[in-house]
Chains A and B, each alone.
Chain A
Amino acid sequence: MLVELLIVTALLSSVLVMLAPDEYAGQFAAALSLVPVAASLWMYSVFDGSGNALLAGSQPAFETVAEWITLGAYTINWHVGLDGVSMPLIVLTTVLTTLAIISAWTPIDERQSQFYGLVLFMEAALIGVFAALDFFLWFVFWEAVLVPMYLLIGVWGGPRRKYAAIKFFVYTNVASLVMFVGFFALVFGLGDSISSLGLPAIAQALNAGELGSLAGIDPPMLKLLAFIAMFGGFAVKVPVVPFHTWLPDAHVEAPTPVSVLLAGVLLKMGTYALLRFNFTMLADVARANAEIIAIFAVVSIIYGALLALAQQDLKRIVAYSSISSMGYVILGLVAFTPHGLGGATFQMISHGLISGLMFMAVGVIYNETHTRMIGDMSGMADRMPVTAGVFVAAAFGYMGLPLMSGFAAEVLVFLGSFQSEVIQAAPLFTSIAMFGIVIVAGYLLRAMQKTLFGPFRLETDYEIGRAPFQDIAPLIVLLLLVIALGVAPDLFYKMIQDSIAPMVELGELGGGA
């Protein structure tokens, strides 16, 4: 019942905040959003799930199954439950939502109650995405995330917000449709061997090789086509080069708190879905095509980093760096080693925190300076020492400074992919990917040097002061979390490992391909 409680609390909060007057909406929303935070932390502390929720022999925590709708031969259930992969993501969602709400107090100055209401609505949908274990339920939440995001970018965004919002909406909806078609080809191919649209049932049936042919396409081909459709659909969300072009527009135009959630949680929907669908249900196809997927990953890492290197806008730099970081997740996943899969999952959490932190820091600077262009300012450390300090710390976290979560995540991914027996020439791919870190260091150091250090220069007609406490507080909290996870990755890594372990062998025996 706890998962339902989380979702219902967030939904109710959303309604209450929508009805609240604009003056207090921000504080009210932050206070209400503490309930899901507390609940999710409490759930984390009593978490007793074991195994991977989609595979046999697992015991998801907080599981509920209730019949919802009967659909011809299939039953659609309300089926939610958490395992070691989804639990950390839910904690990430609730925590980041609260921090994003607080960080919105300064920049959001119109239609506040609608803004915070939509953010809370999105939180409910995001929790649903990570907790749902039935395809339909999952899809309902998956699509439900898009609508508030579209409005958040479109209403409160920057000058080109309409273009960015429409682009985001069209890209992700077309992607959903492609994915939907791919997935349903599998469901129809499975025919009578499944009686519900539960993800565990489908994953287990697929891994047991029960796929039949559909419309004259034989099972191996059907699997491959479905894999391509689903990979394509999710790749837009992640995003993987060359499906990334919506991301910089969306990020640059979105207000900072929305960017925090977009980079911090929404991108993880894509990698989470890849992990659940492509790499669990169709593990054999993923193995057979590991090199191609690894190429996508490495291209994303390097190309994303190079794009970031070419930017002059701080927010664009952070946005492009996300593409690069998400490449590590894909590389870790396709390695099919304990460290690779675990590191990839850990990177989702770590990147969620660090990129959220970076966006917030950029946002705080922007709140004061009203510019994000590198060339417009220098020596900001002189006027905004705390913000600058956090920015530097976050950047080092991004580069993988030991004792910060980014280090743990990247080391695990590289270890995992280096040892991979699935990818041919794994060391080669790994070493190219590691070169990405150098570029990351390059663009982040350049950006910091130009904006934060040196003599103070900014052409404004007003005095730049320190950022208000309400802007700084979420930064500090996030930074502490990043350090905590860097010092003690086991906080999450243990449960992740437990859920990832059954996936390592998956598809090895060649279920049908």
Chain B
Amino acid sequence: MIPLQSADVLPQWTALAPALALATTALVLFVIDSIDPDSMDSGLLAGVSTIGALASAGISGWFLVAGTGMSRTGGAIELFGGQLVVDGMALFFMFVFASVLALVTVASYDYLEGQPHQAEYYSLMLLATTGMALMASANSLATAFVSLELASLPSFALVAFLKNNRGSVEAGLKYFLIGALSSSVFVYGISLVYAATGRLQLAAIADVIASGEALDPGVLGVGILMIVGGVAYKTASVPFHFWAPEAYEGAPAPVSGFLSSASKAAGFVLAFRIFTVAFPLDVITGVAVDWGVAFTALAVLTMTLGNFAAATQDTVKRMLAYSSIGHAGYALIGLAVLSGAADQSFALGASMMHLLVYGFMNTGAFLFVALAEYWGVGRTFEDYNGLATQAPIACTAMTVFLFSLAGLPIGGGFWSKYFLLVAATGASAWLLAAALIVNSALSLFYYSRVVKAMWIEEPDGSFEVSSYPTGLYAAVITAGVMTFLLLVGFGPVSATATDAAAMLF
């Protein structure tokens, strides 16, 4: 196969096209806003954002199929002196971010009806996604930090977007404070690693450590642990998860869906690349800390805490927020089992698959909450009573999301959880396997509470579904269909993810 990014077809830099499409769209939105700053024409803004997101998703999907940056077309494409790299994993995650973004922008069209500052909303969202796309291809600690900040700063503003809503503003402030703290931990970790190795580029760090020239294993070890902390913040893992329930609950529901799916996945792709490329286990073991153990502990704690906390919640949005912490724990399994895994690319691939499926089912669930908020339905489980009598199609989609999140074979979540289980047992990580099974069983309990409320309980007449917003409906149903299709057509996803992960080893 002729590589797409070869001299005859496309220049090398086009490999970044998914990220460039997002950045360009953000700029276009600024231009539109400067032409007509007072415009309330949300159709134009949402339309442009969605087109940009779909273009980005389409290009990354096309590149994945064409094999850009895959080993079969000549390997990863390094750009800007190796500061950025485009390979299968980068494209895979760009696809995830752009798909989530497309769902969220379509849904926001209705959700933001009548709100001021819509252009800012959409351009912040596009910029945050650009940052995430760059996180996926960051190949040095410097670009990693810069792109992390590019993804984070717009997110703070987005959480606090509803300026007159105290919850939203409070959530934004909390998110910002913890974000600032975690970013400083992260950047301090980077500085320690730089101090110990004298390198910022990921592969170069590994070379220095392997050659034994690293300054001081202690400094390096502390640096690595601080980087683990920074990543844990972005992925909303224990012990840096405190911001997540507040931010997700206070933020506008589409933003919650965006943050808990795309932003979390961005944290993971950063972690995958940093830890497998800069601190590969065969190099790091015996020199500094064995981060496999750290991630095992984090994974078990995160999934257990997330699920137990989710089981005790009263409001649907907060339950989803905690469940999203639980899912971060599942996705950590891929990193945690790397040391013992017989097939490392399969283990990492399983986490990638889970994040892809999660992108659709979790975003869909939050968008359903957005739909409920749009209708003026309350926040608690009881407020959802009898919703299915008035909105059966949306409730069917929500049922698919929830059961798929729980791991029932009604959506792609079944496969990705199962692949994680196989990865854990393949590495003889019985503790992780047991935690995964027990937590999945527990999660079924609280997810089915929502299903029960929607379908079985009688409506108490406190709300009236009078309109069916096109954008929100389209987004929720698309996400539902995608979640279901991922059950049927999981083969290409798992093959792509495993191939992409294989390039890191």
Q: How far is the CB of A364 from chain B (nearest CB, A)?
A: 26
Cα distance A154–B494 in the bound complex, in angstroms: 36
If the complex has contacts A174-B441, A181-B437, A215-B430, are A70 and B425 also in contact, measured as CB distance less than 8 A?
no
Say if the beta carbon of A386 comes within 8 Å of chain B: no
Cα distance A161–B495 in the bound complex, in angstroms: 44
**Residues of A contacting B414 with CB < 8 Å?**
140, 143
* B403:A147 contact, CB within 8 angstroms: yes
Q: At the interface with chain B, which of A24-32, A162-170, A418-426? A: A162-170
Q: Which residue of A18, A68, A162 contacts B452 across the interface (Cβ within 8 Å)?
A: A162
Say if the beta carbon of A509 comes within 8 Å of chain B: no
**Residues of A contacting B149 with CB < 8 Å?**
none
If the complex has contacts A69-B490, A155-B456, are A144 and B392 also in contact, measured as CB distance less than 8 A?
no
Say if the beta carbon of A177 comes within 8 Å of chain B: yes
* A140:B487 contact, CB within 8 angstroms: yes
If the complex has contacts A71-B419, A111-B389, A140-B414, are A166 and B452 also in contact, measured as CB distance less than 8 A?
yes
Q: How far is the CB of B429 from chain A (nearest CB, A)?
A: 12
**Residues of B contacting A151 with CB < 8 Å?**
455-456
Q: Please give me the residue from chain B that is nearest to A169 by CB atom.
A: B448
Q: How far is the CB of A132 from chain B (nearest CB, A)?
A: 12
Say if the beta carbon of B346 comes within 8 Å of chain A: yes
7 of the cross-chain contacts (CB-CB < 8 Å) are A69-B490, A72-B422, A151-B455, A154-B455, A161-B456, A166-B452, A174-B441
Say if the beta carbon of A296 comes within 8 Å of chain B: no
* A72:B487 contact, CB within 8 angstroms: no
**Residues of A contacting B410 with CB < 8 Å?**
143-144, 147
Q: How far is the CB of A230 from chain B (nearest CB, A)?
A: 16
Say if the beta carbon of B399 comes within 8 Å of chain A: yes
* A68:B491 contact, CB within 8 angstroms: yes
Which 10 pairs of residues, A with B, have the shortest CB-CB distance? A154-B456, A140-B409, A69-B491, A143-B409, A72-B346, A69-B490, A143-B408, A151-B455, A155-B456, A162-B456
- Interface membership of chain A positions 498-513, coded 1 if the CB is closer than 8 angstroms to chain B and 0 otherwise: 0000000000000000
**Residues of B contacting A72 with CB < 8 Å?**
343, 346, 422, 426
Say if the beta carbon of B415 comes within 8 Å of chain A: yes
Say if the beta carbon of B457 comes within 8 Å of chain A: yes
If the complex has contacts A147-B399, A154-B452, A154-B455, are A70 and B495 also in contact, measured as CB distance less than 8 A?
yes
Contacts from A to B (Cβ < 8 Å): 18, 67-72, 111, 114, 139-140, 143-144, 146-147, 150-151, 154-155, 161-162, 165-166, 169-170, 173-174, 177, 181, 184, 188, 215
**Residues of B contacting A144 with CB < 8 Å?**
409-410
Cα distance A373–B301 in the bound complex, in angstroms: 53
**Residues of A contacting B445 with CB < 8 Å?**
170
Q: Which residue of B346, B419, B456, B491 contacts A165 across the interface (Cβ within 8 Å)?
A: B456
Q: Which residue of A69, A162, A181 contacts B415 across the interface (Cβ within 8 Å)?
A: A69
A sample of 13 more A-B contacts (CB under 8 A), given A69-B490, A154-B455, is A67-B491, A68-B491, A70-B491, A70-B494, A71-B419, A71-B494, A143-B408, A147-B403, A150-B448, A154-B456, A161-B456, A162-B456, A166-B448
Q: Please give me the residue from chain A that is nearest to B493 by CB atom.
A: A69
Cα distance A161–B414 in the bound complex, in angstroms: 28
Instruction: Report B409-426 residues with CB < 8 Å from chain A CB.
Output: 409-410, 414-415, 419, 422, 425-426
Say if the beta carbon of B444 comes within 8 Å of chain A: yes
* B343:A173 contact, CB within 8 angstroms: no
**Residues of B contacting A150 with CB < 8 Å?**
448
Q: How far is the CB of B384 from chain A (nearest CB, A)?
A: 14
Cα distance A165–B456 in the bound complex, in angstroms: 9
**Residues of B contacting A114 with CB < 8 Å?**
388, 392
**Residues of B contacting A170 with CB < 8 Å?**
445
Cα distance A381–B452 in the bound complex, in angstroms: 40
* B457:A162 contact, CB within 8 angstroms: yes
Cα distance A177–B491 in the bound complex, in angstroms: 24
**Residues of A contacting B448 with CB < 8 Å?**
150, 166, 169
**Residues of B contacting A184 with CB < 8 Å?**
425
B392, B408, B456, most chain A CB atoms within 10 A: B456
Cα distance A184–B343 in the bound complex, in angstroms: 19
Cα distance A71–B346 in the bound complex, in angstroms: 9
Q: How far is the CB of B421 from chain A (nearest CB, A)?
A: 8
**Residues of A contacting B403 with CB < 8 Å?**
147
Q: How far is the CB of B350 from chain A (nearest CB, A)?
A: 9
Q: How far is the CB of B432 from chain A (nearest CB, A)?
A: 14
Cα distance A161–B430 in the bound complex, in angstroms: 39
**Residues of B contacting A146 with CB < 8 Å?**
408
**Residues of A contacting B456 with CB < 8 Å?**
151, 154-155, 161-162, 165
Q: Please give me the residue from chain B that is nearest to A137 by CB atom.
A: B409
Cα distance A350–B444 in the bound complex, in angstroms: 35
Cα distance A78–B422 in the bound complex, in angstroms: 20
